[in-house]
Amino acid sequence: MNLVYQLKNDLFWIQNFLPPQLYKDMYVQAIKKRNDSNYQPTDVNWPTYKEEVDDMSYSYNQRNPDTNNKLFTKYHMLLKHQRFVNLIDKQFDSHLRKYTYGQHLTWHKDDLKTRVYAATFYFNKTWDQNWGGEFMFKTDKSSGFLPIVGNSIIIAKCGLVHKVNANLKKTHPRLSIQTWIFDKDEE
């Protein structure tokens, strides 16, 4: 587990997040679910243009996160105990997310009222930099992007302005776990 990038206490990018065998097992499960018909349009809680809504990502179990899902049990434990962000007393809700060709998320900041952090874990082992899908961020003093790297995770403090660029690859969906992180009494 390596911290590759940190922006104050607002943004952390960690590579080699999961042990190799766990990453492989979770990757296989995510690949098997990628064509599942239960993916629904991602719910967003920020203003967006009507024509943008059809191009938003898809989520699996966003409305009813299954935190007891075997896919997430070990992942949540590692997230809770990683050494870069203190999440030991937090609760997690996770769901699978995919971005097919042209799908993205517009500029927004996650809801500070209900969440403390949001984490995005990347599954894609193979992702070319020309395929898009990057995590973009901006503050008053800096801006940048973090590329898609398999077995890496981005942990962003709620309130950080960010977006996800469109997936430009027709044959490869961008696959991730989206995790909402709450204080225990806020769940």
Residue 187: predicted pLDDT: 45
Q: What is the pLDDT of residue 184?
A: 79
pLDDT tens digit sequence for 89-145: 999 988 888 999 999 988 888 877 778 999 999 999 999 999 999 999 999 989 999
Residue 119 lies in domain: 2-186
Q: How many domains does the chain have?
A: 1
Contacts of residue 184, defined as CB under 8 A and 6 or more positions apart, other chains included, come to: 89, 90, 91
pLDDT at 12: 97
Are the C-beta atoms of residues 106 and 163 closer than 8 Å to each other? yes
Q: Domain holding 165: CATH number? A: 2.60.120.620
pLDDT at residue 69, rounded to an integer: 67
Indicate whether 63 pLDDT > 60: no
Evaluate if residue 70 carries a pLDDT over 60. Answer: yes
Contact (CB, 8 A) for 99 and 167: yes
pTM value is 0.87
Structure confidence by residue, pLDDT tens digits, 24-35: 999 988 888 777
pLDDT digits (tens, 9 = 90+) for 146-182: 999 999 999 999 999 999 999 999 999 999 999 999 9
d(CA 46, CA 87): 25
pLDDT attached to residue 60: 67
Residue 59 binned pLDDT confidence (cut-offs 50, 70, 90): low
HSE-up of 121 (CA within 13 Å, CB side)? 22
Alpha-carbon dihedral sign for residues 141, 144, 150, 156? positive
- pLDDT for 66 equals 59
